[in-house]
Amino acid sequence: MKGQSPQAVLDRSGAQPLYAQIAQLLAGEIRERRLSPGTVLPSEAALCKRFGVARSVVRQALSVLVADGLIHREQGRQAVVAARSEHRRLVQRSTGLYDQFASAGTLLRTQVLRLERSEPPPEVTAFFASDDVWLLERLRRVDHTPIAFVRTWLPRNRFPDLEAGALQDASLHQVLAQQYGVRPGRGRNRIRAVGADTTLATHLDLQQGEPLLMLEGQGLDGAGRPMEWFTTWHRAEQLVFDVEVGPDAEQVEVAMQPETHANVTSSGNLNDEPLDQLEQVLGEALTLLRRARAEG
């Protein structure tokens, strides 16, 4: 920022907190690779001088970057830019993976594997009150590394002229909004730990049986009409699911699978004991979260 006063960098009208602006500026430098993984950030004193703010403001900004997984901080040491080894997804938002990655500055590549009429399972037919549906399957990649396989069912009567070409390297939600004026509204998502079957292992470059995080959801549009039924299998080491909680209620529920449903394939059955343990850990984590909030 040579030749520019610190005050000129930030909007001091009060429209946005100073710490949020600083966090955005530093995040931009990290995502644009001007600050590469492993780079030591300037000291708090240097950042105070650069932006013309108090140390408490700088610390708030750095806390935001830590929460977003962009930097690491240790007591008594300067912050370091984190390696881009994992990606994050907010599971309680109706926006899709493409849009969430785009907002974080990450380019998500999409390969359409198939878009065709297909006989849906009974639960999908019941959701749409019709078996006249599209089956859409896509593979999502970041930097040539596959991170998610997505299977989506869509009502053909609402999206009659949908074409695979329009969905290549694109957001399904954006395409539906632009072509049909349909935007996502409310819905319900569920998370399960599953083992990769042969098909998923092949597409996601894994060994059969390796753990995946499966997100399944039914989405309505803004008018409350059925819009999509989707299942996304994520590589567990590539993605972190973030959950926002508030003072009134948790925004996500963890449901333990009964033992009679412990075997799961790509359609939902699990057979790996470590994955059963993972579900137990998720349940225990939520219990600890509730206890901490009650005591806090």
Co-location of 123 and 248 in the same domain: yes
Residue 55 sits in the same domain as residue 189: no
Do 201 and 218 belong together in one domain? yes
Residue 162: what pLDDT? 96
Q: Clarify whether residues 133 and 201 are in a common domain.
A: yes
Q: Which of 61, 81, 101 is the last residue of a domain?
A: 81
Q: Which domain holds residue 61?
A: 6-81
**pLDDT (tens digit, 9 = 90+) per residue, 7-56?**
446 888 888 999 999 998 998 888 666 787 788 999 999 999 999 999 99
| Span 177-213, pLDDT tens digits | 999 999 988 888 888 889 999 999 999 988 899 889 8
In a domain? residue 167 = yes
Q: Domain containing 77 — which CATH number? A: 1.10.10.10
Q: Is residue 200 within 8 Å of residue 233, measured between CB atoms?
A: yes
Q: Is the pLDDT of residue 229 over 90?
A: yes
Judging by DSSP bridges, how do beta strands 133-142 and 71-72 pair with one another? Answer: unpaired
Residues 91 and 204 in one domain: yes
36 and 157 share one domain: no
Verify that 45 and 65 share a domain, yes or no. Answer: yes
DSSP 3-state of 188? strand
With a pLDDT cut of 70, the percent of the chain lying above it is: 67
Tell me: pLDDT of 276 over 60.
no
Predicted TM-score of the model (pTM): 0.53
Highest-confidence range of 29-33, 87-91, 274-278, by mean pLDDT? 29-33
pLDDT, residue 66, reads 87
Residue 269 CB neighbour total at 10 angstroms: 15
CB contact burial 111-143 (16+ within 10 A = b; e otherwise): ebeebeeeebeeebbebbeeeebbbbbbbbbbe
Q: Are residues 24 and 163 in the same domain?
A: no
d(CA 215, CA 160): 26
β-strand 211-221 against 184-195: which pairing, if any? antiparallel
Of the residues 55, 81, 107, which one is the last residue of a structural domain? 81
Residue 193 · residue 279 · CB < 8 Å: yes
Q: Are residues 130 and 268 in the same domain?
A: yes
The verdict on 130 and 270 lying in the same domain is yes
Residue that is last in its domain, among 81, 98, 117: 81
Domain count, the chain: 2
Q: Judge whether 125 lies within some domain.
A: yes
pLDDT for residue 84 is more than 80: no
Same domain for 253 and 217: yes
pLDDT (mean) for 259-272: 38
- Residues 76, 192, single domain; the answer is no
Angle subtended at Cα 225 by Cα 222 and Cα 231, rounded to the nearest 5 degrees: 90
Cβ-Cβ contacts under 8 Å for 294 (sequence gap 6 or more): none
pLDDT at 37: 78
Q: Which of 202-216, 223-237, 276-290 is the least confident region?
A: 276-290
pLDDT for 160: 95
